[in-house]
Amino acid sequence: MPRPTAAQLAYGSATVVVSTIAMLLLSQTSTGIGVAVIAAAALALGLLVALTVPIPRRRGRHAAARGAGRGAVRGAAQGEPAAGGDASRVPGHRTASADHPVHH
């Protein structure tokens, strides 16, 4: 399971605190069971919010490395011969294509 991002932790924690206070004030409960039910509901709501916060996509060299990996797999799937030995480690000439446009 991937680690939660800072945004997920912040939104989840804020949801737990704000929803707990709001439910306690609105319900005006003073029993231990009522407070426990409200706390459990607030934790569940905070978890739901934290899990639904969209995770940003990686950009930069991580995305470029993933894109290059897909091209190699696509070429191998089409039956293109792979270069052997150390020649496969030397990068060749690169050009921009529709799959990987260059953004400035």
pLDDT in tens, 14-64: 999 999 999 999 999 989 999 999 999 999 999 999 988 877 776 766 555
pLDDT for res 18: 95
User: Would you say 53 and 4 are in contact if contact means Cβ atoms under 8 Å apart?
Assistant: no
Identify whether the C-beta of residue 50 lies closer than 8 Å to the C-beta of residue 4.
yes
Q: What stretch of H or E contains 94?
A: none
Q: What band does 69 get if pLDDT is binned at 50, 70 and 90?
A: low
Decide if 51 contacts 8 (C-beta within 8 A): yes
User: Is 80 exceeded by the pLDDT of residue 70?
Assistant: no
The tens digit of pLDDT for each residue in 80-103 reads 555 555 556 677 676 666 666 666
Q: From CA 104, how far away is CA 101, in angstroms rounded?
A: 10
Higher pLDDT, 82 or 9: 9
Rounded to the nearest 5°, which phi and psi values hold at 45? -65, -40
Looking at residue 70, its amino acid is: R
pLDDT over 60 at 71, yes or no: no
For the chain, domain boundaries? 6-51
Smallest CA-to-CA distance from 19 within 46, 50, 48, 52 is with 46
